[in-house]
Amino acid sequence: MKYIVLAETYSELERIPSKLKKTEIIAKLFKETPANLLEAVTLLIQGRVFPSWSEKEIGVAEQLMIKAIAKSAGVSAEDVVKDYKKSGDLGLAVETLVGKKRQRTLGSEQLTVGKVFANLQAISEHSGGGSQDRKLDLIAELLSQATATEAKYIVRTVLEQLRVGVAEGLVRDAVASAYNVPVDDVENAWNLLPDFGEVAKAAKEGGEKGLKKFKLRLGTPFIVQLAEKSPSLKDAIESYKKVLLEYKYDGMRTLIHKKGEKVWLFTRNLENITAAFPDLVQLARKNIKADDCVLDGETIGLDRKTGKPVPFQQLSTRIKRKYDIEKSVEEIPIDVNLFDIVYLDGKNLMELTLEERKKCLAKSIHSVSGKFHVAEGLVTTDLKEADAFYKEALKAGEEGVIVKDLNALYVPGRRVAGGWLKVKPVMENLDVVIVGGTWGTGKRAGTIGSLHLAIRDAESGKFLECGMMGTGLKEKTQSERSSAAPRAKGATESEQDGSVTLKEMTKLLKPLVEHEAGSLVKFKPKIVIEVAYEEIQKSPTYISGFALRFPRFIRLRPDKSADEADTIERVKTLYGQQKGKK
């Protein structure tokens, strides 16, 4: 299969905003792809070379890419940088430079998908002395044989900046369409084994039956079950006949796979964190009785001096750590809270009730207090008992509680009707100032895709950053989304719709630009918006010392000036009120 087929597909996807049309294009590509290339094509169409859960990565920086482009195009690095500065996209820069070449290198063959995929995967294998030269040669080899269009997308793929608007949902729908199988079957298979290459191959060769044969695989993560929000504790415990309450920990969702002495660790986002948490690996080896199993739980970080939980933000510094791992183990010890077991010695336990799985879990581990144990829980349908447990969780510094149906099965990847409901304190909205942003890519190209938020220091008058937000702003107006009723007389479309689009927000912000550097923009602090968020965390990342977790846009506050935005003192007060902090 020629790589130009994939490159032309990228071009078509980049031009077309419609998700339905994109799905049709990808489905057509899948139909034309031989089974032995489906793994490569399903990854490459997402701009990846490895599955999201793989420890491997390409690891090529812009400077090395500039050298590779210069070498293959026969120009200086300065010429590449000059073109790069014009477009802000090395993919466009290489397209221009390769387009100026008179012809393809004499005697060179057309690139194939297999050749491109093999070279890109091989880049990750090189490390240590001389590795940069070997990586450069692998990239330059491809670029020297590529057409202008091919070179554009090879560079973008290596830099993980494909920008064609292909999310996992589109790939799922395209697999279903290409092989005429139900979307739910595709999703269920992917939830158990998140690799669209294998899912597509099973659908192509075995149809619905092939997809339904998917099982958990030790060493490969699955999409964990998630909880839905409940309006109140009362609503939550009244939702089920047999109720279990457990702490909702402010930690890291942790999947522990064990096969003999081999242990793998994954997060809910499919990140392989085995190397970053050798202490957890040792705890699992010593305290799991079963030979083969998959446990689900939450890992929290502890203050080394007090033994009390630290915010997830602090524990998260260990997740990406590649160096000085032993030092991080010492600085942030952990406590592993296990709440489920989904696989045990060759048996899939997802089809058992939670009550049955809990019994299996208790028999499968040695409990070590404060280090490796079953999560704190209470079986009750009494509201007073439940409320006391909820307050106990908050006092302990946790986020709240998860209310679980003891009769429910384990449902990977689902929030609705999955038998888990989360109850957390309702945080008050904040009025913040927009002080910066990042230009969007893909379907958000031409708009400010994410906003940098700040609160006010009443004493100095300065604005202190407290987070980034990309949620809550609409991508289209109401009239673009549907043929809605006429707006009220005198009302703007945003006022009528109760929302603001990315384009509208960008239009408001453009006159306020103070400085631009690449995709980053700095604005005069003029526009105030109201945001909701899940919680406030302490953070060394932002100058305010705090971060809003998952902020989302609620509304513009044109009635407020920047000097009326919420203050750092207000944020400190709210931080102290949440989760029983003082």
Active site residues: 248
Q: Tell me the torsion sign for CA atoms 118, 120, 126, 131.
A: positive
- Please choose, from the candidates 45, 7, 34, the residue with its C-alpha nearest in 3D space to the C-alpha of residue 169: 45
Q: Within 10 A of 576 (CB to CB), how many other CB atoms are there?
A: 12
Contact residues for 375 (Cβ-Cβ < 8 A; gap 6+) = 246, 247, 249, 297, 298, 337, 338, 339
Strands 430-439 and 262-266: unpaired
Residue 321, classed as helix, strand or coil, is: coil
Non-local CB neighbours of 152 within 8 Å, separated by 6+ positions: 7, 91, 92, 94, 95
Q: Which residue in 188, 580, 225, 582 sits closest to 402, CA to CA?
A: 225
Query: Which residue reads 């209470």 in tokens?
Result: 378
The CA–CA distances, whole Å, from 565 to 348, 469, 530, 552 equal 53, 17, 9, 16
**Widest CA span in the chain:** 81
Alpha carbon distances (Å) from 487 to 385, 478, 492, 498: 50, 10, 8, 11
β-strands 520-523, 513-517 pairing: antiparallel
CA distances in angstroms from 216 to 56, 176, 264, listed in the order given: 21, 21, 14
Cα–Cα distance, 384 to 94 (Å, whole number) = 66
- Phi, psi dihedrals of residue 200, rounded to the nearest 5°: -65, -40
Three-state secondary structure call for residue 509: helix
CA-to-CA dists, residue 289 to 292, 347, 348, 360, angstroms: 9, 15, 17, 11
Question: What count of other Cβ atoms lies within 10 Å of the Cβ of residue 480?
Answer: 12
β-bridge pairing 377-379 and 463-469? unpaired
Question: 248, 233 in Cβ contact below 8 A?
Answer: no
Cβ contact 447:256 at 8 Å: no
> Could you give the residue ranges of the DSSP H alpha helices within 88-221?
90-100, 113-123, 131-145, 148-158, 168-179, 183-192, 196-212
* Interacting residues of 5 by C-beta distance below 8 A, sequence separation 6+: 29, 32, 113
Q: How many CB atoms lie within 10 A of CB 211?
A: 25
HEC string of 69-111 equals HHHHHCCCHHHHHHHHHHHCCHHHHHHHHHHHCCCCCCCCCCC
